[in-house]
Amino acid sequence: MTGKDLKKLGRSQLLELMVAQGRELEEVRERLAEAEARLEERKLVVNEAGSIAEAALALNGVFEAAEAASAQYMENIRELSERQQRQYAQWEEENKKKADEILEKARRGAEVILNSAQEERRRLEEEAREQCRILEEETRRRCERMLNSPQQKADDGGEESYEE
């Protein structure tokens, strides 16, 4: 399986691959145990045959094969683990970037809303001040008319007029 193929795999597929590798390791261990058992049998045969040199050659071949299989398996596990670590680091970096972007967008949105609310508050305050000023002016005029009205009444002959 190539590096590109592994990069395309999801977490569950990678885990399945690791489980399969684990099973393969168990199989290799079983074969190693079987080879060691056969080796013990061969030792007996060699002892019976009396040829130490032949036994050493046979042992070397068995151990070399088992060692090579074990080394290959361990290398495969290391490579897979490194690829997974790189993939996880990449995903983590991508997720961090996305989270930072979302936070920044939320901050900008909150700032826009806050600015809009403050602008609306200022506008409403100005309107309220203007309405208060108008009402105050109207009230002042009415009061002046009311205060001046008795005088007008005396001057006009008694007619009351509180018109605006």
Range of the domain at 75: 3-102
Domain count, the chain: 1
Residue 38 lies inside a defined structural domain of this protein: yes
Distances (CA, A) of 138 to 42, 105, 150, 163, 164: 121, 49, 19, 12, 9
In a domain? residue 143: no
Q: Is 139 among the domain residues?
A: no
User: What's the pTM value of the predicted model, to 2 decimals?
Assistant: 0.39
- pLDDT tens per residue, range 40-73: 887 776 666 556 666 666 667 778 888 888 889 8
CA angle 26, 27, 32 (to 5 degrees): 95
Report the distance separating Cα 47 and Cα 40, nearest Å. 10
- Judge whether 60 lies within some domain: yes
Residue 93, domain member (yes or no): yes
Q: Is 27 within the bounds of a domain? A: yes
Helix (H, G, I), strand (E, B) or coil at 51: coil
Q: Is residue 115 assigned to a domain?
A: no
pLDDT in tens, 64-121: 888 888 889 899 899 989 989 999 999 999 999 999 999 999 999 999 999 999 999 9
CB of 17 closer than 8 Å to CB of 80: yes
